[in-house]
């Protein structure tokens, strides 16, 4: 039987190193399919004012593009 690919249903935007480490740990322990968005693995913070810019860079401008472009985990 062929294995079906599962799209991510969760995207987490982390603003710093501690949030990145926490989300990575939750992802590994609970085996959740999610994508973590960070600058250099949390070494550089993402300011709240630039969240929309980060989403636009990944092709996530609106709900329909989110459904199409969310990467596979």
- pLDDT per residue, tens digit, the chain (73 aa), is 555 555 667 778 888 888 888 988 888 888 877 777 777 777 777 777 877 787 777 777 777 777 776 654 4
* pLDDT (0 to 100) of residue 57: 77
pLDDT for the residue 70: 63
Query: Which region holds residue 59: left if phi is over 0, alpha if psi is between -120 and 50, else beta?
Result: left
Mention every residue, 6+ apart, whose C-beta is less than 8 A from residue 40. none
- For 16, the 3-state DSSP assignment is coil
Please enumerate in sequence order all residues whose Cβ is within 8 A of that of 37, keeping only pairs 6 or more positions apart, or say none: 11, 12, 13, 14, 46, 54, 58
**Residue 11 phi/psi, 5° resolution?**
-125, 125
């Amino acid at each position: 039987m062929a294995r079906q690919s599962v799209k991510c249903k969760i995207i987490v935007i982390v603003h710093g190193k501690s949030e990145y480490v926490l989300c990575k740990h939750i992802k590994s322990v609970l085996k959740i399919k999610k994508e973590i968005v960070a600058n250099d693995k949390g070494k550089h913070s993402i300011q709240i004012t630039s969240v929309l810019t980060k989403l636009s860079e990944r092709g996530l401008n609106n709900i329909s593009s989110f459904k199409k472009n969310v990467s596979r985990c």
